[in-house]
Structure 1
Amino acid sequence: MKLTPRLLEIANKVEKDSVVADIGTDHGYIPVYLIEEGISRKVIACDINEGPLESAINYVTKKKYQDYIDTRLGDGLKPVKPNEVDTVIIAGMGGILIADILDADKKIADTIENFILQPMVASSELRKYLYNNGYKIVSEKLSREDNRFYEIIVATHGRENIEDEIYYEVGAKLIENKDPLLKDYLLKKIDKTQKIMKNIEEHGETEDNDKYNKLKERLSKLEEVYHDNF
């Protein structure tokens, strides 16, 4: 089967012969791909909503992968037993929600080795949570669909210090690995920040404006990262 660029990048981060839990599985595309391509031995496809899970059940049944893919209804990591999987995928949600899912079931999360996370928004808040709660980011990858960028974060348990807060927003691994999409990704962030600042300026609200000053500092850091690398 053919995955979208975002889902394919997520699946490509799964290690060979791993046992995976896909949280918020939706239609079950990633679990089926992982089994079809011989990447995973077993996948647990979980969703909090009955509708999407029913879609996943139908798709798994159509592909005749019921022996390899379990479908389970439940919130976050709750459908997964401790030590049942070595890898978890949490994709297509906000970064704060992903952090909340990890935080809500720490006893289960502590038994999982690899975390493949793809926040739709609030990636900086997710990175901050990971760094402050006993995780370290081992790799990151950008994916683009149309004009939207997606950040795929791979983490494990450990400790890591952040040299500058800008790396909450722009993953340090994206820079270290010279991600092919990094240049366009940074330019889009710079452009968006400039537009927000211009809007504030047009309303004459820059003086003693905490939001504006933070945006100005953010822009300076983003431009520094850009000029240091391109």
Structure 2
Amino acid sequence: MRLSSRLQAIADLIPPNTIVADIGTDHGYIPIYLIKNKIAKKVIATDLSKNSLAKTIQLVKEENLENHIDIRLGNGLEVLKPFEVDTVVISGMGGLLIRDILDKDRNKRDSITHFILQPNVASRELREYLYINSFEIIDEKLVKEDDKFYEIIYAKKGKSIVEDYIHYEIGEKLILKKDPLLKDFVEEKISILNNVLEKLKDKNTEKSKNRYEEIVMEVNKLKEVLKGIEGNRYN
């Protein structure tokens, strides 16, 4: 099975020989890939949608993987037992929803070792949650698919310190490892924020003025990141 670039990047971060839960599995592509490529020993594929799970059931049967992929209908981590899996994948959702899924079942969350998380939006809020709740971000990847950037976070329980608030917005690991897509990613963020500034500049309310100043500071921090990326090219 050939995965999309986004799903492939997620699969590449999953540690080998683990028992994986794919929360919101949709068509079940990741579970099937993990078993066929002997990355996971077992996968639990879950989804809220009966229609999505019906597609997963069909694909799993076609691949004769019923003994390796357990398919469950349910919300978030509620369909899992504590210590049943050591790796969880939550992808293709908003960062706030991923945060809420992790926070709703803390006992189950804390029994899991590896977290592969791919927020479609609100990655800043998700990173804040991870740091506040004693997670360590081990690695991050950027993927561009259909003209959209995706951030993929690999986290484990642990303690880490955020030395610069910009690392909530731009993952520190992306900067340290000089992700190939980082320059384009930061430039796009700056462009989006500049458009917001253009809309705010003529507004005279106190709230608008405060927001304008906040965004100016954020743009300046992003420009510092960009300067560091471009400077590293010549080191």
Q: Is 1:177–2:177 an aligned residue pair?
A: yes
Deviations 1:44-67 (A, max 9, x none): 000112111111111111111000
CA distance in 1, matches of 2:164, 2:16: 34
1:165 maps to 165
1:41 maps to 41
For 1:5, give the aligned amino acid.
S
2:5 maps to 5
Sequence identity percentage: 48
CA contact (8 A) 1:137 1:154 kept: yes
- The alignment's C-alpha RMSD in Å is 1.0
Q: Is 1:78–2:78 an aligned residue pair?
A: yes
Q: Give the C-alpha shift of residue 198 in structure 1.
A: 1.2
Q: Give the C-alpha shift of residue 153 in structure 1.
A: 0.2
CA distance in 1, matches of 2:62, 2:37: 16
1:199 maps to 199
User: Structure 1: which 4+ aligned runs deviate by more than 4 Å?
Assistant: none
For 1:205, give the aligned amino acid.
K
Q: Secondary structure at the match of 2:35?
A: helix
Q: Give the C-alpha shift of residue 43 in structure 1.
A: 0.2
CA distance in 2, matches of 1:143, 1:228: 21
Q: Give the C-alpha shift of residue 207 in structure 1.
A: 6.9
Q: Give the C-alpha shift of residue 146 in structure 1.
A: 2.6
CA distance in 2, matches of 1:148, 1:22: 22
Q: Secondary structure at the match of 1:27?
A: coil
Q: Secondary structure at the match of 2:77?
A: coil
1:223 maps to 223
Give aligned pairs, total: 228
Q: Secondary structure at the match of 2:82?
A: coil
TM-score by length of 1: 0.97
Q: Give the C-alpha shift of residue 200 in structure 1.
A: 2.0
2:92 maps to 92
Q: Give the C-alpha shift of residue 199 in structure 1.
A: 2.1
CA contact (8 A) 1:206 1:212 kept: no
Q: Give the C-alpha shift of residue 159 in structure 1.
A: 0.8
CA distance in 1, matches of 2:42, 2:101: 22
Q: Give the C-alpha shift of residue 206 in structure 1.
A: 5.8
1:138 maps to 138
For 1:34, give the aligned amino acid.
L
CA distance in 1, matches of 2:37, 2:187: 35
For 1:38, give the aligned amino acid.
K
Deviations 1:183-229 (A, max 9, x none): 1111111111111111222xx11674122111111101100111122
1:67 maps to 67
TM-score by length of 2: 0.95
Unaligned runs of 5+ in 1: none
Q: Is 1:53–2:53 an aligned residue pair?
A: yes
For 2:82, give the aligned amino acid.
P
1:122 maps to 122
Unaligned runs of 5+ in 2: 231-235
